[in-house]
Structure 1
Amino acid sequence: MNGILSRILAVALMSLPISAARAQDDCGPDRPPCDEPHDGPGCLQPQCCELVCKIDVFCCEVVWDETCVEQAGELCGDVYCPDFGGCLEIHDTGGCLDETCCELVRMHDPFCGYGTWDEICVAEAESWCAGTVECPIVPPPNAREEGEPCLERLNDGCGGGAIEINASSIACGDAIYGKTTTKVPRDVDWFRLPETRDGPLVIRLETEFPARMLIVTGSCEGPISVLDRRPVDPCRNDEWVVDLPEGEYHLVVEAGADGRSLRSGLPCDEIDPKNPPDDDEEPLPRTYGLHYLLELACTAAPCPGDLNGDGMVDGVDLGLLFAAWGECTDVCPADFDGDGTVDGQDLGGLFVGWGGCP
């Protein structure tokens, strides 16, 4: 009873409004968690702390007691950042201590907030938190539009209960300027790969958002099998060489990371005519762009070492290899073994193929 009276008296003696600056001073990573009572005002998570202190100044002026904890439980169900644990370290709670990085990862991969900060969250933090977030793609003149508004689902494979695979076609030499979104149902773009192939396929993807490519086979009657997958970081481009046996295959482009599909953080940027927003409605937050550029090249049987494509492995190719010597910073044709460095192993690979290509 004395505690309650003391609390009432303390609040009565305080000026009721609390400034934003004062709330910020008492909220942040140097404070204990918001879901635990503790000596002193404020708590770890600034968003949650400020929500509570707007309605109960005692929590940011005097002490964060059991009442503050109860209010945090009612007001802060969707607030996960920051929280204890390094963003580049695996830990068994959600969130991490760097609020900006934590929010970027959690926004696109909610499991990293309400679940645990696992190895996938760590990999996402490593790839995204120090990277570029704005990189609008300018499609080349030969690129064609994917042709699927982000409010519709026209090439989503077996989504929506489809009996047959809904897919766009992509031919050798095509460049497709596409868009994806995590708006429910999540957008997944399927492309039917050419059935006639004389050699490996070279797939190039440039993306504004965290993306993932998958090679799949099968039918909507089941099973659909994923043969391989490859993540591409936002604001990067990647080249993927795949050599497939005879058969029918599809390439899937989706929002994703290595190990997990992304299901939030990329809202559609088009107005739904059937459900337009209110005049005062704030748009959903979005950090990354929604576009990608997909290109497909079909190659003949591989000729290791023929870097200039003249049908010969000779001194010209040797010079190109030495010009690219060292760590790769982008697409690196001279990196024959794909280890990210042009070195002696690649030089040996060039000499293995010396002479005329078969």
Structure 2
Amino acid sequence: MENEVIFYTYGLCTMFYAMMAWIFWRRGSDKLSRLVMILMMIISISLIKDLFFLHDEMNAKDWNWIMMTAVDMVAEPFYAFILIELCRPGTLSKKMMLCHEAPFVLLPILLYITRIETFYDILVAWSAIYGVYYAIWTLIEIPRYHKILKERFSYEENINLNWLRIIMFSFFAILTLWVVDSVIVNIYIESAYMIGSMVIWMFICSFIYRHESVLSELTVAGTSAKEDMPKDEDINPVDIGIRIEHLMLIQKAYLNPQIKLSDVAKQIGSNRTYVSNWFNRNRQSSFFDYVNDLRVEFACTLLETSDMSLGDISHESGFNSKATFYRLFKKLKGCTPNEFRDKCKTL
């Protein structure tokens, strides 16, 4: 019965990770998709490999178990690579990836050649330090990433990383279970670890698959300054302000739900840096806040003067979703759209 449970669990997880590898291969050739695809392939191969070494008498001191665990750690840097590509798109290089991966490859090789278990202990310690470091790094980077997004985008759907915080804490739970599983070899703990990991990866893959690439909108290290030069180098801040406000207030460009800072810069004949600086200095506001303030004001007009449904008002005002509309409206007006409409009727 126990063998049936573990083989069924391994089979189920192998099929899931293999399917995810195929889905992300089909998704596109962007770096994030390729990283997820490779990680899914590594996990699938690792699971198939483990099936040849599982047996009833295996324990935490068993040589096969130690080698299996050591080899499985090769996948760990790919978790970090995905986090880096999510939080700092475009900064991950092949050289950086090789440097990260080196200790996770060399230590298992040394362990296999010498059979000195000290190498395994070093690998486990390094793996723990590496994992905790990138967990903390990610939690610090997410607010910085969101700040940059607010300077470049007028929407949040499919580009924010709030979901990653929940996933990070879930990973800690899985990591704890993995440590217990590595020390106490038990068929049911192993199954719980496998199923728990798979469920979390279902959510991760779902979010990553919908995640919109923001690489073209973000200024990354090493980008040539010439690529973002203004069309007219003599343009002054006053002219930029006049052009921006004409575009926004007269042409109502904010009603485009997908408008980005680069779109504004292109339409007024400037560049993203100048436009972003104008918002920060002259409006003491991010691009995101400025655009969504205008959208909320437009929605207020519709709520006062029409009987349109809230869904239609949300769409007409330039919001990508009703949830974002409700949240920002309540934040800026201190009441829900329905409450605002009711107040208008009583006046």
TM-score using structure 1 length: 0.30
Higher fraction of helix: 2
Relative contact order: is structure 1 or structure 2 higher (C-alpha 8 Å, sep ≥ 6)?
A: 2
